[in-house]
Amino acid sequence: MTDSNYWALAVRTVKQDQPAVLVAIVGHHGSVPGKTGAMMIVTHDQVEGTVGGGLVEHQLIELARCGPENQILPFAHDGDSTESICSGHQTIAVLPLSRAHLPNLEMLAELQSTGTPAMLTLGPEGPSVNCGSVGPTLFTEKEKQWLFTMPIGPLDTLTIVGGGHVGLALSRVMATMPFRIVVLDDRKDLPTLAQNTWAHAIHRIQWSDVAKTVVEGDRSWVVIMTRGHLHDTEVLRKLLPLNLRYLGMMGSAAKVRQVFTKMEAEGLRPTDLDRVHAPIGMSINSHTPEEIAISIAAEIIGARNAGE
């Protein structure tokens, strides 16, 4: 998992009694460089995270290093500046951090490092966290009082059925996205499983039990990439009845036709297979595991963003 752990930087800095400032975008509309929920921690010599980069981020970093007070900043992008062609509006929270915030900062750092979903709340008193059920992103402001809440952590689960070279590469790519990554395989002592430090969980299972292991729901994404079409067919047969946001299968067009033809001969209707993304991935003439992983990640991200 390679996500920038800005909460860990906040913890280290506050423990040293050094200035640290949380800068967060708590609202936006239009075309802007940073969207709602983007955050960064600014210290005297480090910046972790980003609120979109460019001139606005540079100005916010300078502000954060000048000893700011708790404040909410409206920022309009008029699209006329030679520095930016953005046109929209952002609402930005600037929160100096202190030892009083340390318990919540330590909890946030732990949640970020383990990839655990939670609910973050920001307000004039600083950050707080709720590890219970998550809710929607909301920002309210009345006079000098304001409150921002948002879910944090990987709320979506990507289950990679098959822990080979492409599964390893896909884990590495998707670790930069807000997904909980689970890898399933039926093989013992598989080198690529041992090398996979990006997955949140790795399970060795029998393919006959795959449906018991995959989580259901509209936040569940599943890709099938076992070591052969016989195993792919078995896994696909088990997963088709499940309620999944996305179900994809890797393979050539010829392999996909072979698997689908076999399943239709067993009595499965062609319409039952319409929701399967196969061959999986966007068409970018990919060949290596890394290229294939990028094509799959692009398709998943496209489907996720289209849904949102």
pLDDT confidence band for 1 (50 / 70 / 90): very low
Buried/exposed 100-132: b ≥16 CB within 10 Å, e otherwise: ebeebbbbbbebbeebebbbbbbbeebbbbeee
Tokens representing residue 286 in the block: 């990919």
Q: Are 238 and 208 in contact (CB under 8 A)?
A: yes
Contacts of 255 (CB under 8 A, 6+ apart): 229, 232, 279
Task: Note the pLDDT of residue 33.
Answer: 76
Task: Note the pLDDT of residue 21.
Answer: 97
Q: Estimate the crossing angle of helix 229-239 against helix 253-265, to 10 degrees.
A: 60
What's the mean pLDDT when you consider all of the chain?
89
Can you tell me the mean pLDDT for 254-258?
A: 89
Tokens representing residue 240 in the block: 């088709």
Can you tell me the mean pLDDT for 86-103?
A: 90
pLDDT confidence band for 125 (50 / 70 / 90): very high
- pTM of the model as a whole: 0.66
Task: Note the pLDDT of residue 210.
Answer: 96
pLDDT confidence band for 86 (50 / 70 / 90): low
What are the pLDDT digits (tens) for 270-279?
A: 888 988 999 9
pLDDT for residue 202 is more than 50: yes
Alpha-carbon distance of 280 to 293, in angstroms, equals 10
pLDDT for residue 3 is more than 50: no
pLDDT for residue 117 is more than 70: yes
Report which secondary-structure segment, H or E, holds 130.
strand 126-130
Can you tell me the mean pLDDT for 250-278?
A: 89
pLDDT confidence band for 103 (50 / 70 / 90): very high
Tokens representing residue 17 in the block: 């009694």
Q: How far is CA 161 from CA 124, 181, 225, in A?
A: 45, 11, 6
Which of 109-113, 130-134, 160-164, 254-258 shows the lowest mean pLDDT across its residues?
130-134
Half-sphere exposure of 190 (CA within 13 A, CB side): 20
Alpha-carbon distance of 96 to 113, in angstroms, equals 22
CA 133 to chain centre: 18
Task: Note the pLDDT of residue 82.
Answer: 41
Task: Note the pLDDT of residue 135.
Answer: 83
Task: Note the pLDDT of residue 40.
Answer: 95
State the distance between the two ends of the chain, measured CA to CA, in whole angstroms.
24
What are the pLDDT digits (tens) for 148-182?
A: 999 888 778 999 999 999 999 999 999 888 888 99
Give 69's DSSP letter: P
Q: What residue ranges do the domains of the chain occupy?
A: 6-114, 156-307
Helices (H) and strands (E) in the chain, counts: 9, 15
User: Kindly report the CA angle at 153 between 225 and 150, in degrees rounded to 5?
Assistant: 135
In the chain, the amino acid numbered 109 is A
Rg (CA), the chain: 22
Q: Residues of the chain with pLDDT > 90: what percent?
A: 60
Report which secondary-structure segment, H or E, holds 284.
none
What are the pLDDT digits (tens) for 209-252?
A: 999 999 898 889 999 999 888 899 999 999 999 999 999 999 88
- Picking from 138, 123, 226, 245, the residue whose alpha carbon sits closest to that of residue 183 is 226
CA 57 to chain centre: 22
Task: Note the pLDDT of residue 298.
Answer: 96
Q: Are 223 and 296 in contact (CB under 8 A)?
A: yes
Domain 156-307 CATH superfamily: NAD(P)-binding Rossmann-like Domain (3.40.50.720)
